[in-house]
Amino acid sequence: MKKISLLVILFSFCFLGFASASTDGWCYNFKKDLKLGSKGEDVNALRTALIKEGVYKSEWTSSSFDIYITAAIMDFQNKYSQEILTPNEITKPTGIVGKLTRKKLNELFACAGNASTTPTVTSEDKNTVIAKSINYINKYLAQGVTVTLGTVDSNTYSFYKFEAMSNGNPVTVYASTDGKKITFQEVDISKEPVTATNPTASTEIKKSDKPSVELFVMSHCPYGTQIEKGIIPVVEALGDKIDFSLKFCNYAMHGEAELKEELNQYCIQKEQKDKLIPYLKCFLKEGKGDDCLASVSIDKTKLNSCTVSGEKEFNVISNYTNKKDFVGEYPGFNIFKADNEKYGIQGSPTLVINGTQVQSGRDSNSLLKSICGAFNGNPEACSKSISSETPAAGFGVGSTTATTSGGCGN
């Protein structure tokens, strides 16, 4: 696996999250009845418990016992109806934390022996964790840097997970419940990161007269949009000398808007391929798909027919709505699922040339060289002068001087 800078790992990746944003040792003793309007530490702990139970949605925000927590409590009561509702001969959830609801919460989350609500870790366990973390960073993440132990914070943190917007793109953030720490990813250090063991993930590209170029992205991933901006001039320069296809990862990290946009782009490419590049050039400026459909004169009748057909075949939006076929915590996008499995696609962006995963810079010049290396005989366009500036990540124009290897996914 190619190592990348530690700063990029910590602050640039849109990682595919793991199951929970809180530490495994989180606990809390619920001692009070709670209802609509309640506030304080008990309500904050209740929200954390409901998140862990999967009944409090990530897009909700509650600073008190509000309608969102009420709805989550009702789902919680339905989930454990035999223990909460049936004993009271109640058929419908109340949305109030009473005796039996509180009892179930404590069965799941109470601290042993009525200990402090802050999780504790023994000195030996903590030192072991720190040692494992340093070893993992040195082995897999840090490039030319040896990480050693500095100051150790004596506190143990639990985290809230939420999304912040950056240039119109959601970025997952983890904030400690005491409001003192934030980070941008979780890494399971009990597992080695995915390495390039797939036989297609090679640096040797098969040559052909007309190379196949497949670019896998998520439409709202800032690093996917970055490489798209880099590859468009290459596709325009090489024209019909290559067989270019824009494809999408088999899961979406940026919600329903991303799923709908990917379905649209799939259909534009399928039914009106000559409009794909003009549409992308417009979309990548501000991410305003509806405006771009009009500005590049997309035939909306054809588009609508295709999206309806695509939805019927692949259930993109219905699966999202019904929470079916998710990949971890993210909704699936199954249109290119077979290709994702064939090439071992892990995230956005991934470039595949003649069936081989290729590592390339995201500037147009690097991408041109990567693709031209797959020809049996280079066409004239391969000697063309083309920009070597790396496009800025996310929507918008401009370039960056940073070496970016971040991506959305694991």
Where are the chain's structural domains?
Answer: 6-18+120-183, 41-114, 212-400
Residue 87 confidence (pLDDT) above 90: no
Mean pLDDT lowest among 89-103, 146-160, 186-200, 209-223: 186-200
Give every CB contact of residue 252 below 8 A, 6+ residues apart in sequence. Answer: 218, 220, 258, 259, 262, 330, 331, 332, 333
Average pLDDT over residues 337-363: 94
Average pLDDT over residues 19-25: 43
User: Is the CB of residue 214 less than 8 Å from the CB of residue 207?
Assistant: no
Average pLDDT over residues 72-78: 93
Which pLDDT belongs to residue 5? 40
Mean pLDDT lowest among 106-115, 122-131, 218-227, 240-249: 122-131
Strand partners, 244: 213
Residue 8 confidence (pLDDT) above 90: no
Which pLDDT belongs to residue 399? 87
* φ and ψ at residue 243, rounded to 5 degrees: -105, 95
H helical segments located in 239-343: 255-271, 276-286, 289-295, 300-314, 316-322, 337-343
Confidence band of 58 (pLDDT split at 50, 70, 90)? confident
Average pLDDT over residues 195-216: 72
* φ and ψ at residue 406, rounded to 5 degrees: -70, 160
Mean pLDDT lowest among 15-24, 220-229, 308-317, 349-358: 15-24
Q: Cis (ω within 30 of 0) for the bond into 349? A: yes
Classify residue 353 as left (phi > 0), alpha (psi -120 to 50) or beta. Answer: beta
Edge-to-edge strands, sheet with 212-217:
243-248, 212-217, 350-353, 356-358
Q: Are strands 399-400 and 243-248 parallel, antiparallel or unpaired?
A: unpaired
Digit-coded pLDDT (tens) for 162-183: 666 554 555 666 666 666 666 6
Give every CB contact of residue 357 below 8 A, 6+ residues apart in sequence. Answer: 196, 198, 200, 201, 202, 343, 344, 350, 351
C-alpha dihedral sign at 197, 203, 209, 215: positive
Residue 297 confidence (pLDDT) above 50: yes
Q: What is the mean pLDDT of the chain?
A: 81
Residue 401 confidence (pLDDT) above 60: yes
Which pLDDT belongs to residue 90? 84
Which pLDDT belongs to residue 1? 40
Digit-coded pLDDT (tens) for 137-159: 666 555 445 666 665 554 445 56
Spatial distance between the Cα atoms of 4 and 404, rounded to a whole number of angstroms: 9
Which pLDDT belongs to residue 293? 96
User: Is the CB of residue 289 less than 8 Å from the CB of residue 264?
Assistant: yes
User: Is the CB of residue 225 less than 8 Å from the CB of residue 282?
Assistant: no
Which pLDDT belongs to residue 14? 38
Give which of 158, 157, 33, 146 is closest to 97, Cα–Cα: 33
Average pLDDT over residues 198-208: 63
Mean pLDDT lowest among 87-91, 147-151, 269-273, 313-317: 147-151
**Apex 77 CA angle, 71 and 79, nearest 5:** 105
Name residue 25's amino acid: G
Spatial distance between the Cα atoms of 345 and 357, rounded to a whole number of angstroms: 9
Residue 370 confidence (pLDDT) above 80: yes
Confidence band of 346 (pLDDT split at 50, 70, 90)? confident
- Token code pair at residue 32: 């009070």
Chain-centroid distance, C-alpha 20: 14
* CATH hierarchy code of domain 212-400: 3.40.30.10
Residue 119 confidence (pLDDT) above 50: no
Confidence band of 60 (pLDDT split at 50, 70, 90)? confident
Residue 199 confidence (pLDDT) above 60: no
Torsion angle of alpha carbons 92, 50, 17, 185, nearest 10°? 160
